Amino acid sequence: MEYIQDAEIISVLENYAEALRMGNIEQLQKTFHGDAIMYGYWDQHLVEGGIANLYDSVARHGAAPHLKARIEVLHKAGNIALVRVEYENNAAGKDGVDYHSLIKINGEWRVIAKLFQTFEK
């Protein structure tokens, strides 16, 4: 499978990964639309609702200085895109995968939905 090379979209997700590395909630908020949602599994525990759940998790777990992330733009159609982020060593020491749905509004890409799964090591 050939992935899309879109510097603007990749930059948004690189900002996301860097904000997680630093534990910087204000920087994270620049990645997400204000009404973004987040659903997924933290191991076997279902997390659902608004993106504030992510901000609360970062506040609770702190920085992830050893986070490694691989970003792949899976699909882009005009002003929408789907991106996969596979990561290792989040702030809780977990590995996982995110799928981010992005939308371009007023010339800026923002994540509108995050779907995720962490894995037990």
Q: Quick one: DSSP state of residue 2?
A: P
Q: Quick one: DSSP state of residue 93?
A: S
User: Does the structure show a pLDDT above 80 at 117?
Assistant: yes
The pTM (predicted TM-score) of the whole model is 0.93
Cβ atoms of residues 40 and 117 within 8 Å: yes
The CATH number of domain 7-119, selected from 3.40.462.20, 3.40.50.2000, 3.10.450.50, 3.40.190.10: 3.10.450.50
Cβ atoms of residues 90 and 120 within 8 Å: no
pLDDT attached to residue 9: 97
pLDDT attached to residue 120: 77
Residue listed under structure tokens 């702030």: 91
Q: Name residue 66's beta-bridge partners.
A: none
